[in-house]
Amino acid sequence: MTVPASEMPSAIQLDGAIIPWPLFTLDFEASGLGEFTYPIEVGIARWMEPDAPISSWSVLIKPTKAWLRHRIWMPESEKIHGITRDELDQGISPRWALEHANALLRDHIVYCDGGEHDLRWLRHLAHAAQVRPTFELAGWNEVVRLLSPDQRSRMALWQDRQPIRHRAGDDAMRHLVSLAVALFQKDGQS
């Protein structure tokens, strides 16, 4: 999924010293919430610079035998994200998923809104992959708090109008597009 630069508003209200470029968001879908769950999908959205399009990547993660034996699948979560256990058989290995995420994110700070859940799922993914993440997770609110009250209001209004799909790539993209809406303004708007 990509939002072309031509569809972004034409003017930007941004202090480059406040919000560093490029910007990345990450989202996980999982077998459920809690310590004994596992990641089933990872999604990343990237915004390389203000005039560049925002793009996303996501992939289903095939559960390891250890996850299937020692972790839980919550039917309630399946109802939310709509990903079935059978679909995960077509997913990729945790190692490939994390290696690809590392290649996309390198040494950057990556924002996410899942707090301890995202940290836990990243740890589970790294342990299963036997690969260390090359990026650092930070809370989405670290970006939001840098916005002016008007920018936060624009972001919240836009997000209220956009459904949460509960799919990793779409949800990561939703955050960066909402940030673009908050930062960009058309001529004559405040």
pTM: 0.88
* pLDDT tens digits for range 109-140: 999 999 999 999 999 999 999 999 999 999 99
Q: What is the mean pLDDT of the chain?
A: 89
Q: Is 99 a domain residue?
A: yes
Q: Is 7 a domain residue?
A: yes
Provide the domain count of the chain.
1
Residue 183's pLDDT band (cuts 50, 70, 90): confident
Q: How far apart are CA 5 and CA 171, in angstroms?
A: 19
What would the mean pLDDT of 136-147 be, rounded to a whole number? 92
Tell me the CATH number at 148.
3.30.420.10
Do residues 98 and 126 make contact, with C-beta atoms less than 8 angstroms apart?
yes
Q: Is 93 a domain residue?
A: yes
Q: Is 112 a domain residue?
A: no
Q: Is 114 a domain residue?
A: no
Closest CA to 176 of 129, 152, 132, 140: 140
Q: Is 113 a domain residue?
A: no
* pLDDT tens digits for range 152-162: 999 999 999 99
Q: How far apart are CA 175 and CA 147, in angstroms?
A: 14
**DSSP reduced 3-state for 123:** helix
Q: Is 142 a domain residue?
A: yes
Domain limits for position 127: 2-104+120-166+175-185
**Distances 134 to 82, 97, 102, 115, 118 between C-alpha atoms, Å:** 30, 13, 6, 18, 15
Q: Is 111 a domain residue?
A: no
